[in-house]
Structure 1
């Protein structure tokens, strides 16, 4: 039955959409329709994957919606091709006959293909078998050739070694002919030398050939060492190798002894060929280097020192460098020949430096001890110079880098414990400053004892410690950063010592074991030394000291030098910044002493209270003593010697302001108290007169006791102002003096301060 009886293709319908414009059959993102087309699709796994985040009801609803859409799509497809679907049965006529006619030729073709395939597979199998047999034969042939070549090389090496033994080592011994011996015994030394040189050269060339063949033999042995034939030959190979090493060693020693350039060159090529550089280096060390070094630093292998006393190495290094230049340059020049392949040898490290290190360890072990810092540093610097001298024999920068990377070079540098050395120097320098700062008082020094113009032992110790950090016999450039840090720590220690002491002095924090007793008990004259030293220290640190440090660090980069400069300048500034605090401490002490004299103004009240004393006509006696402590201080020997005019001005101004402030406080308190007292007395008198019927009228022209007190204070502050003027201080510029003037001056004198 047709689903739709229209025989024409229905027009395509636009997709249906909902209210929001989405397709009605639109599915959520988690509903993957393509999963149903996967051949490995199973409903159980599909549902188990979705159940963790999709409810069953939602999943069932989506599946039903998808089924409905599939059915609808199927109906639409059938309706679209309905005419072809209906006519399909009418077009399929005699289909079975056509199938029978096509089957026979197809079967025939299939049989032919299967037969051809069988023939091809058989041929392929035979071909693969032949190839395997060929590969086996080829491998066997290669092994056989390798064995034959190995046998030939072993035989050749043994033949060459026999030929080598028939050649005498030199012209003075060996299997020489009788005629040759007779010829040599006739004393023809020139011919003797020539024959010896020729024999060494011949032997060295033969050894080079043998080494080359041994190199080939090692290659063959490495590729066939598991074969029984090779295992049977292993003993012959080892014997040949041992004979080669022995003969090569004798020839190399002979060449070194007679400084035969050609023989040594050939021997080195032989050693390089068999990759046995260590033997060459050891022979050179024992034959040439060791006797030279033992002449300078005698030692014994047991570690018992048998040489000269003392652990200094500078003179030893000088002698060793001279001997190396004289007796070792010959081989070092040969080993540095360009394009010779001798870069594999390291005679500088493994022969010379190793022997020198061994000699020092067994002949002068104390040279490496940092327990004596001065000797240690001298030896270390001498050692660096010795290493630099050895590096001068390197033909290139890469050779220098290789020399420094050698194990013996690293071991040599490890012998010098720079960390322990700095720790000892730190304790020595920092401990010296700490010891100077521990005392309970400031320690002035004799003027003749200080070359730097300093006056205190503490300051002189600081400067000496700072300079010690950068002395040639203390500083190590490689750890200059640590010495810079120590420099800044010394400055900080001194600054903290002073600032903490001044703080304790201000707060009167003193005790029997107080570390700040020096500051609390210091007289103003003692603090003059502190001001003077701070100025000199700051100037020296920011001047000559920085210049000395720059001269030492001139090889460093500009950026690094600038950082050093800034840090040291900051330290110098911290010294300079302490000067105002010391000045304030002196001012406080002087102001306190002057204020004791000011206290006497309280006697003015007693002088005029309840007395008939007439109004004053001259200032009080105490006024002349108010500024006396300040004047005595300024006129003292230390102040005139060590204080600059600028510092004196700051001291006078600060003291004047503080003393005048105290003067005003006492005067204001005295006047206010007197006025309150007088008011109370007047009130009591008026009440008494009123009770007795007496007249309460008083004459306005009578001078009261308070007026007399103010008149006396006015005379006093005028004299005080004149005394300030003698010290160079303008009284009118002091706010507290202005307030004091307005407190006691008559009305007609209030406008202008004049005395």
Structure 2
């Protein structure tokens, strides 16, 4: 068959294990000639480094001869097809002319159709642009018309308010029934006028809210600027009327009227005004009766600045006079959760009353009274949080500006500094004494902490207990009081070790506070050993249990760290026992 691939050249009889005759050396690769970036000069230069020039030339000539033979074989194989092709190509030019005419005609038609489509597309785009402009203009016009209608409607509804106000004084229900704006709210002449007015105000507020929405989208238009004075006037009248109605509802405890007024305040996003009215009308007079502002009758000093009794009276007012509006604002699905009367009305007034009536209550200069007032204040805040229906409401209350401001008044850092000086100063004064001071034992138990024999040890234990006394400790500063406790133990241990070191050196270069060891009698070291044993047992026993009980609200990990730190200080105290016993034997 002509398309069959020619077989390779036969081998000689003696060439059984050699390469084929047309094989090439390993260094000669004909496939590289077909590479697009083949460079003959670089190829030859590379091969000449390890192939003799004659060998390379003979190999290239052999490859050229092979290519020529292959080309001849290909021509001979397809020669019949070449001959037939030349005989079939008859009158090619005329065939091309016949085909060109319809193609040119088709091209002209396509170009004409394309032009028509582009023209239609341009026209369509222009039409769509005009339509969009017309739609935008129509929306602006509708917005302006709606704005005008709402302004007119608000003004019309506001005009009904004076008649309602006059009817409030006359008690005439029939005149209200004649009003078209109120006829839907009056049933058989029995509806409360105050409630009816609050309903009308809520309706006006709803319209005003819609008006504010329109103004926000069309505030730069000349039409809106022209009616801006009318809008401001209507807003002022609404706020004034709403304030009067809300005050009237608060004074008469009209739940329905208050609810409607609060919804109106919420609609116009004026929550602060409602909170301020409630504070000034209801909260302020009652709080000022409890804590008079700037009254000369208030006795200055500790008794005059105590807040516990004041908070007790305020709680009664909250339960009796403030609870009703808190329940209205926190009612489920009421939509009034935006109001924060706890922080912005009650707590704000209490804070101002304390600042102006009892400013000394915030002063940490009297630590005992300060701590009592601080704990009473925390209890009062916890009481107010009890009126929060959800955890989210509690978090909102704690994040309120007046809550934060109220907590800032209590400078707990200064209080701790004063307590630190008081507790640490007492122990330091005892440890700097020139000699050991004995105290008289009152019990018979040898290791009872009450039978400590040294005044320094007694003051240490009293100081340690003072750190966790409920009349001293501020739980938020428990980490600082723990550190103070560890410092007290460390100070006592250093006092003992430095005294023993000074005695060993004979007093040369001793630091202040080490004189006790120089003048100590043999019995004094026995007292020291006794106190170390008693303190060690007390610290690892009842004292540690009391500290862990106070911090019981902390996590188990924190409690474990506290326990380890206290036991570590106790161990440092125990490590002094062998040293003290050794000195005791030497002195004896």
TM-score normalised to structure 1 length: 0.65
Which structure ranks higher in relative contact order (CA pairs < 8 Å, sequence separation ≥ 6)?
2
What does 1:12-51 align with in structure 2 at a 5 Å threshold?
18=26
Aligned-partner SS, 1:443:
coil
Change (3 A) 1:338 1:8: same
Structure 1 unaligned segments of length 5 or more: list them: 1-5, 28-32, 38-57, 181-193, 591-755
**Deviation for aligned residue 1:288:** 0.8
Q: Aligned-pair distance for 1:197?
A: 7.9
Residue by residue, what CA displacement relative to the aligned partner does 1:669-707 show, whole Å, maximum 9, x if unpaired? xxxxxxxxxxxxxxxxxxxxxxxxxxxxxxxxxxxxxxx
What's the CA shift for 1:448?
Answer: 4.5
- Which residue of the partner structure matches residue 472 of structure 1? 470
Q: What corresponds to 1:742 in structure 2? A: none
* Deviating more after overlay: 252-261 vs 161-170: 161-170
Q: Deviations over 1:325-352 (max 9, x none)?
A: 1100111111111001111000001111
Match for 1:224 among 218, 235, 243? 218
Cα 1:24/1:84, change in 2 over 3 Å: closer
Say whether the 8 Å CA contact 1:8–1:80 is kept in structure 2.
Answer: no
Counting only pairs closer than 5 Å after superposition, residues 398-417 of structure 1 correspond to structure 2 as 398-417=392-411
Q: What are the within-5 Å matches in structure 2 for residues 578-597 of structure 1? A: 578-590=576-588
**Structure 1 residue 357 corresponds to structure 2 residue 351:** yes
The corresponding residue for 2:375 is 381
> For residues 287-436 of structure 1, what are the structure 2 equivalents within 5 Å?
287-299=281-293, 307-309=298-300, 310-436=304-430
- 8 Å contact kept, 2:306–2:369: yes
Residues 449, 534 of structure 2: 8 Å contact kept: no
Equivalenced residues, count: 535
Alignment match, 2:115 = 118
Q: Deviations over 1:404-463 (max 9, x none)?
A: 121221221122222222222222211221111111111112235998111111111100
Structure 1 residue 505, shift from structure 2 partner? 1.4
Structure 1 vs Structure 2 CA RMSD: 3.6
Closer, same or farther: CA 251–104 of 1 in aligned 2, 3 Å: same
8 Å CA contact 2:430–2:456 kept in 1: the answer is yes
Conservation of the 8 A alpha-carbon contact between 1:164 and 1:203: yes
Give 1:87's aligned residue: 82
Residue 158 of structure 2 corresponds to residue 164 of structure 1: no
2:276 equivalent among 273, 282, 285: 282
User: In structure 2, what is the equivalent of residue 749 of structure 1?
Assistant: none
Structure 2: where are the runs of 5+ without partners?
9-19, 48-55, 57-62, 176-187
Counterpart of 1:560 in structure 2 is: 558
CA-CA distance at 1:61 after TM superposition: 3.8
CA distance in 1, matches of 2:144, 2:337: 33
8 A contact 2:500–2:580 mirrored in 1: yes
**Structural mapping, 1:58-69, within 5 Å:** 61=42
| 1:153 is aligned to 2:150 | yes
Task: Report deviation, 1:297.
Answer: 1.4
Q: 1:503 to 1:95 in 2, by over 3 A?
A: farther
Q: 1:110 to 1:346 in 2, by over 3 A?
A: same
State how far apart, in whole Å, the 2-side matches of 1:387 and 1:491 are: 36
- Aligned-pair CA distance for 1:566: 2.5
User: Is the contact made by 1:510 and 1:517 (CA closer than 8 Å) also made in structure 2?
Assistant: no
1:496 equivalent to 2:490? Answer no
> Which range moves more in the overlay, 141-150 or 371-380?
371-380
1:142 aligns with 2:139: yes
Using the alignment, how far apart are the partners of 1:80 and 1:231 within structure 2? 96
Q: How far 1:507 sits from its partner (Å)? A: 2.6
Measured after TM superposition, the shift of residue 84 of structure 1 is 6.1
Matched-pair contact (CA < 8 Å) for 2:442–2:451: no
| Change in CA separation of 1:64 and 1:421 when aligned onto 2, cut-off 3 Å | farther
